[in-house]
Structure 1
């Protein structure tokens, strides 16, 4: 399974950076886009840099409704794509998405999306957010992929551990302060809107990986 960072506030050469987050998850024939960043133009440019087209996307998973995570959605929608979103999304937004997509799947509880890829279900309040949980290729653990961690990274980690032994975490950690809770993880990739991003990279040099559009991880 590959995780490719499509949208981030940092970027590798040839990719565009911006405020927002998106990553492409490739599992066999499946291509799943998690969040869409803020700009459709930047999203599609960076997808193209990976050799991917919007039409290749089978599923789009949205973590929460903030603009820097769903702003590029319109550019990513196509008639063959399924969109997996939190049940708490506004009805008007659900209806607008349904007009452009093949299917809208509302998620409130933990759910298997495809084999090896799971949703935590909605976590937290007042901002309800879903994260993805990916089973590693050796089957021995899982890696959480987080949008904005508004419920608190601790809650999301607990939800991921209900699915499997947590080996790693990728995405936005928001204002998470209990950095010692990440000590035993094998992979830490702090991305868009992680306030203590530099500190994490310094604190865990053997397991923390620099994020940025264009980065690729194999799980």
Structure 2
């Protein structure tokens, strides 16, 4: 049967595409931006928060879930994303602008595994040592003792907004598949000290793609952790929020220099808390390797 003109033109376009673009078209590896505060596509809800769908080597991963469950649901339906078919959810950190849509996710896919930081917000029990009977307080009346002085003392679990979720704490480099990994970095940044944050790493022939939520530990510290754990100091692409939105020009310059000169980031698709100043600087520095990542964009990997 003769090939249609449309099929012929499509074949030519794929044939002349870049090797990376052609590989993406062949494999179906891509990232869809589901939630953020900017877009050039009509009909999508914009809000402060972040969520992306990562499709890589046959796995469908929801990374973060946005700030508002109803708004998240609206974008999911308008973008025709089937959450019942995702393989896992990753919540980068505990803040509501990354976790609020989980309630909607679980209504659609109640048994999906959810990977989270080792943070009591999600799953830690109250430390048992809090309830060890201190010798100096043995004279307290029962009514003033925790759990009436019961021995052995219980270690009650913290309450959670998602009691039915199948949470898995990420405490070390965690392999989802041989080419998909999760890593946790503990923040030492003032205001976010001791808050762990999980990042997603995809191994590609061009190098690792690192997907971050808010980079509260500092993007330099996250990439240093990635480099140590994966034995590479060259990052192919960086996706997500860098939390430079309120940083000074000198702080932004320092971070941009680390990304490009220390970790050799070749490509970027940034959003959320990165900040408009940083968008502009990295767009200028990376040129065509800076990829627009507004809500509704589908980025080939």
- TM-score > 0.5 by shorter chain: yes
Structure 1 residue matching 2:282: 3-state secondary structure: helix
Q: Does 1:189 align with 2:269?
A: yes
Counterpart mapping for 1:1-219 below 5 A: 1-13=29-41, 14-77=43-106, 78-90=109-121, 91=123, 95-99=160-164, 101=165, 103-125=166-188, 126=193, 127-136=195-204, 138=205, 140-161=206-227, 162-163=229-230, 164=232, 165-175=234-244, 177=252, 178=254, 179-183=256-260, 184-195=264-275, 196-219=278-301
CA contact (8 A) 2:185 2:198 kept: yes
CA contact (8 A) 1:63 1:85 kept: yes
Cα displacement (A) at 1:12: 3.3
CA contact (8 A) 1:185 1:207 kept: no
Higher helix share: 2
Cα displacement (A) at 1:204: 2.3
With normalisation by structure 2, the TM-score equals 0.66
With normalisation by structure 1, the TM-score equals 0.89
Report how many residues are paired: 215
Deviations 1:41-84 (A, max 9, x none): 22222222332122122211000011111111111113231100
Cα displacement (A) at 1:182: 2.7
Of residues 162-171 and 90-99 in structure 1, the stretch that sits farther from structure 2 once superposed is 90-99
CA contact (8 A) 2:267 2:286 kept: no
Cα displacement (A) at 1:31: 1.4
Q: Which runs of 5+ in 2 are unaligned?
A: 1-28, 124-156, 245-250
CA RMSD of aligned residues (A): 2.0
RCO comparison, higher one (Cα < 8 Å, 6+)? 1
CA–CA separation in structure 1 for the residues paired with 2:77 and 2:177: 24
CA–CA separation in structure 2 for the residues paired with 1:115 and 1:12: 36
CA contact (8 A) 2:185 2:222 kept: no
Deviations 1:169-191 (A, max 9, x none): 01001126221223332211220
Structure 2 residue matching 1:84: 3-state secondary structure: strand
From the CA coordinates, give the structure whose radius of gyration is larger. 2
Higher strand share: 1
Of residues 198-207 and 107-116 in structure 1, the stretch that sits farther from structure 2 once superposed is 198-207
